[in-house]
Chains A and B, each alone.
Chain A
Amino acid sequence: MSGTRTLQVLLTLGGMLAWAVQFTVVYGATSTLCARGWADATLFGLGVVPFTILTTTLAALAAAAILLVVCVRAERQSRDRPASATDRFLSHAGMLINGLSLVAILWNGVPAFILPACA
């Protein structure tokens, strides 16, 4: 598998990978912080648990959004010049996957705003 193809796969699946990283970090951090009694610790005026969730979610959203833009561009470009069917397919699939990832990431960050940190 050539380098370009590897990059294409990463672009296509990137949003979902960002979701996976976000999920692992927020779950791991919440469990660790709560188990070690840092429920009430604060960072920049926010509880350390919501703060971690917020920053991780924003970072993952940014990553998925950038990938989405890259895929949209690649898709536009492939319309103008003769790209292979595989390239068109990958950029189109990438648009859909990264778009859905944005929703999944956002959705995953919601508990931070409605639930107490470590109850």
Chain B
Amino acid sequence: MNVPELPKSFERPDAEFPNPVPRPEGELEALKRPWKAPRGLSFITAVNNTYVGLWYVGTALLFFVLAGILALIMRVQLASPESDFVSHDLYNQLFTMHGTVMMFLFAVPAVEAASVYLLPNMQAARDLPFPRLSAYAFWAYFVGGLVFFGTIFFGLAPNGGWFMYPPLTSTKYSPAENADWWLLGIGFIEISAIAGAIEIIVGVMKTRAVGMSLDKLPVYSWAMLVFAVMIVIGFPAIILGTLLLEMERAFDWPFFIAERGGDPLLWQHLFWFFGHPEVYIIFLPATGMVSMIVPTMAQTPLVGYRLVVLALIATGFLSFGLWVHHMFATGLPKMSLGFFSAASTAVAVPSGIQVFAWIATIASGRMKLTTPSLFIIGFLFVFTLGGLTGVMVAMAPFDWQAHDSYFVVAHLHYVLIGGMVFPLFAAIYYWVPVASKRALSERLGRWVFGLMFLGMNVTFLPMHITGLIGMPRRVYTYPVGMGWDELNLVSTIGAFMLAAGVALFVFDMARNFRLASEDNAGNVWNAGTLEWLPNGNYATRSIPAVVSREPLWDQPNLSKDVEDGRYYMPGTVTGGREALVTSPFDARPQYILQIPGPGWQPLLAAVFTAAFFLLLTVKFVFPAAICGVLALGCVIWWLWETDPGPIRPPADIGGGIVLPVYATGPMNHSWWAMIVLMVVMGMVFTCLIFSYLFLWLVNPGAWPPQGVRIPDWIWPALSAFLYCASVALVAVASRQLRGEDRRKPRSVPILIGVALLLVGGAAAVDLWAQWQTALSPSAHAYGAAVYAIMSLQIFLVLTTLVMGLYTIARWLAGKLDTVRRTTFDNTMLFWYYTAGQGLVALLVVHGFPRLTGGV
């Protein structure tokens, strides 16, 4: 398919508009009809980003309040020495839940949720490219999160700290199910975060306003792109870590048990390889918000746009070189600590660039002291202080002194509250007029800010001292006379001030937030970006062509012209929901994407997925299995309606641009999503191979351990041959799926069927080879590592099996042919990945021990 060239008029904003006015009668009504939200009970099946985004933000704020209440209980307990307000065990659950809920159920979901709402609006897209995926991610998080939080009421909440270090969390020291709630509950909420990240990457790259090339992309979109890529790279480490620890707890595979060749430090590596980037994962979206709000409040474009983008990208990279600074006290070689110390200080440079860019923007304009501005000033102050103590703890010798003390608690709250909570509140005060009929109260807002800012500092500033004079973290009480009494009391008073600020904010929301569809409060701040265009459920009436980063400032009358339908796609050409897919670099229109509307499928799939994991936690294996099958069924039911094919000939969207309503191959949005998913899988696998090599490193002379036989080379060779043969058959099937004649009989289903047998055989041969050597997964970490690699591979092969059978079913149902082949392409990509990973796995498992000769 040829990419249509942009018409010349695009370079000249004053030239004619793509579409003439007045628009034909009934066009707007036809556009509104498919975008209407369902009524009554079915309202919860809505998938519009405007609804799901708001539910998502609301749920995240609910968890913020809940986890905050847990913090208040802890502060009451610590207000005086030798207090018995809560028991030791409950206190352990409280601090574990506070950290876990704030990080996993508030911070990451909140910034992801905000972007579900904001990104499409900011890029003038009708919706995100996979609206049902956002709905699925939201509901899985909503149900799973609430059940997870509920465990605190039954004494079942995890109590091993938010980073769940083994051996404390291994079966020996935590035999009860508390730890399993963390591993399974949080494990699958991370999957929901990854689903959101895939959505964001494809959304930023493929659905933008016409002409919104990379140099005109809002900084927020850049931030969310880097954020999502970091999730894709970082989250697999924790998913793998939770899998390994759960396998250790459930099946006694000793990954972290030192007596049998495991190493608890492996967990720390996996956890912090996710855990440190996580801090930036929640910080970067917040900086993206700040970079949008500051220019509006100062009424001048952001100073140093390119430098800010550089800072975002550099932070994205450098933040992956910091994880060991959480492990400075574990006795690693000092040289290793040096590398991480260097990267930890280096990452301050890009953060500094951003801070200076904001200050310069404020200085070059005239900053209005609104509530969002106040929160941003608070952010700059608090975050900078947190950054400075960050550079202090980046120095290994200082860290050894401050480690596990309240100094670290103070540092991390300055960074997280300063770096994420304040910008988020600024963002809420700033963007509420887009979603609500009324803006929030400026008068109340000042009080909210004042209470939160003072409360935050009164709570955490003294903690620096409490820590430096020796108070350790995570103690449920302390004796009189340590000199900690007054400081702790001050911190408790501060915590309640902070809470009062949040309570006032909730009151402000209840009083002023009124959901708007076409009657929002409007551009109250005179902002320059596209989310302030007039919009409804269908987003903007027409999709504008932009020529700058602040189109509303530089293209006078843009709002009116967009609303009149003068720009692209002012109606619907297929009668259903549509989005305009644009090229990733220059944002040239490529095709019209037919996107799905409301449906029960994502909701039910999410509920059953949550049920599957939660029932597994309490070892109800059979009901869990039923829910798993139902979840899979719902996903297939959901997918069956996708891949609609070219239901009409190419359509005119205005300005002489004629676009197809269906595209396949690398231009297709789901192709992109599949590639991102492959990166996720690749990272899970990479972390697993890292774990394998790590365990080799800590087991000199025992890899494999005495008495373990490596299978004869003929077995892996046979397995590799089967993988290659199956891929070859899929490639042949792909070739067959070409040509003009859509109805010509072809042997595609037979080829896929045989290829399925081959790929299944490949995994079975490998499993059999290890089985017949009587390798035990629980005797030694070697066996555990080998079986872990095989288990992941078998999971992929089973997934391929489902996808292959689904593809055959599509063919038999007449929903797959030479033109309508996206389903096949996705299966093919996944297949190639599965085979590729299988080959590398064979190479490592069978080749590495031979290479090192047991050394």
Confirm or deny: B39 has a beta carbon within 8 angstroms of a beta carbon on chain A: no
Residues on A with beta carbons closer than 8 Å to the beta carbon of B23: none
Q: A16-B314, A90-B214, A92-B306 are in contact. Are A27 and B336 (CB under 8 A)?
A: yes
Identify the stretch in B110-118, B341-349, B762-770 within 8 Å (CB) of chain A at 4 or more residues.
B341-349
Partner of A85, one of B215, B336, B338, B346: B215
A85 to B549, CA, bound (A): 12
Q: Which of A16, A35, A92 contacts B697 (CB 8 A)?
A: A35
| Interface pair B306/A30, CB less than 8 Å apart | no
Given contacts A16-B314, A100-B350, A103-B346, contact A116 B697 (CB under 8 A): no
Please provide the chain A residues from 64 to 119 with a CB less than 8 Å away from any CB of chain B in the complex: 84-86, 88-90, 92-93, 96-97, 100-101, 103-104, 107-108, 110-112, 114-119
Kindly list chain B residues whose C-beta atoms are within 8 Å of the C-beta of A93.
306, 309-310, 313
Tell whether, in the assembled complex, residue A96 and residue B346 are in contact, meaning their CB atoms are under 8 Å apart: no
Q: Give the residue of B349, B350, B700 whose beta carbon is less than 8 angstroms from that of A36.
A: B700
Binds A, one of B178-186, B248-256, B316-324: B316-324
For the complex formed, measure the closest distance between the CB of A104 and the CB atoms of chain B, giving whole angstroms. 5
Q: Which residues of B contact A32 (CB under 8 A)?
A: 697
A85-B216 CB under 8 A given contacts A16-B314, A96-B310, A107-B346 = yes
B584–A1 contact, CB under 8 A? Answer: yes
B335 and A110 within 8 A (CB): no
Asked if B333 and A97 make an inter-chain contact with CB atoms under 8 angstroms apart, the answer reads: no
CB contacts under 8 Å to A, within B296-346, are: 306-307, 309-310, 313-314, 317-318, 320-321, 332-336, 338-339, 341-343, 345-346
A15 CB to closest chain B CB (Å) equals: 9
Chain A nearest CB, measured from B586 CB (Å) = 5
Residues of A within 8 A of B349 (CB): 100, 103
Q: Are A49 and B306 in contact (CB under 8 A)?
A: no
Is B666 on the interface with A (CB-CB < 8 A)? yes
B339 with A108: CB separation less than 8 A:
yes
Q: With the chains together, A33 CA to B341 CA distance in Å?
A: 20
A window 27-85: CB within 8 A of B: 27, 30-32, 34-36, 49, 84-85
Given A30-B336, A90-B214, decide whether A107 and B342 contact each other with a Cβ distance below 8 A.
yes
Choose one: B306, B334, B342, B350; the contact of A89 (CB below 8 Å). B306
> Judging by beta carbons under 8 Å apart, are A84 and B342 in contact?
no
CB distance from A56 to the nearest CB of B (A): 11
B585 interfacial contact with A, CB 8 Å: yes
- Chain A interface size, as a band, is 35 or more
Determine if A26 is an interface residue (Cβ-Cβ < 8 Å).
yes
CB distance from B844 to the nearest CB of A (A): 15
A20 and B317: CB pair below 8 A? yes
Main secondary structure of the interface of B (DSSP, over half): helix
* Assembled-state Cα–Cα distance A93/B310 (Å): 6
B215 touching A110, Cβ below 8 Å? no
Query: Which one of B317, B585, B697 contacts A86 once the chains associate, using CB atoms below 8 Å?
Result: B585
Q: Which of B146-177 contact A (CB under 8 A)?
A: none
Q: Does B691 interact with chain A (Cβ within 8 Å)? A: no
Q: Is B213 an interface residue (CB 8 A)?
A: yes
Residue of B with least CB distance to A119? B334
- Alpha-carbon separation in the docked complex, A19 to B319 (Å): 12
Given contacts A20-B320, A100-B350, A108-B342, contact A31 B310 (CB under 8 A): no
* A30 to B318 Cα, complex, angstroms: 19
B334 contacts A116, C-beta separation under 8 Å: yes
B698 an interface residue at 8 Å Cβ cutoff?
yes
- Rounded to whole angstroms, the CA-CA distance of A88 and B332 in the bound complex is 45
Do the beta carbons of A84 and B338 come within 8 Å of each other?
no
Do B310 and A97 touch across chains, with their CB atoms under 8 A apart?
yes
**A111 in contact with B338 (CB, 8 Å):** yes
CA distance A108 to B215 in the complex (A): 31
A35 touches B698 (CB 8 A): yes
Closest Cβ–Cβ distance, residue A88 to chain B (whole Å): 7
Q: Which residues of B contact A101 (CB under 8 A)?
A: 314
> Contact at A49–B342, with CB atoms within 8 Å?
no
B551 to chain A, nearest CB (A): 14
Q: Are A19 and B317 also in contact (CB < 8 A) when A89-B306, A103-B346, A115-B335 are?
A: yes
Q: Report chain A residues within 8 Å CB of B342.
A: 107-108, 110-111
Cβ of B317: which chain A residues have Cβ within 8 Å of it?
16, 19-20
- B346 close to A104 (CB less than 8 A): yes
Assess the A104–B214 pair: CB atoms within 8 A: no
Residues of A near B310 (CB, < 8 A) are 93, 96-97, 100
Known: A84-B586, A85-B216. A115 touches B309 (CB 8 A): no
- Least CB separation from B675: chain A residue: A1
A112 and B334 alpha carbons, distance in the complex (Å): 10
Given A86-B586, A100-B350, A111-B338, are A30 and B343 also a contact pair (CB < 8 Å)?
no
A31's contact among B320, B336, B666, by CB below 8 Å, is which? B336
CB proximity of B572 to chain A, nearest CB, Å? 29
A65 CB to nearest B CB, Å: 17
Contacts of A84 in B (CB 8 A): 213, 586
B interface, CB within 8 angstroms of A: 213-216, 306-307, 309-310, 313-314, 317-318, 320-321, 332-336, 338-339, 341-343, 345-346, 349-350, 584-586, 666, 697-698, 700, 855
> Which 3 A-B residue pairs are closest in the complex by CB-CB distance?
A111-B338, A89-B215, A16-B317
| 8 A-B interface contacts by CB (under 8 A) | A16-B313, A31-B332, A31-B697, A93-B309, A96-B310, A100-B349, A104-B318, A110-B338
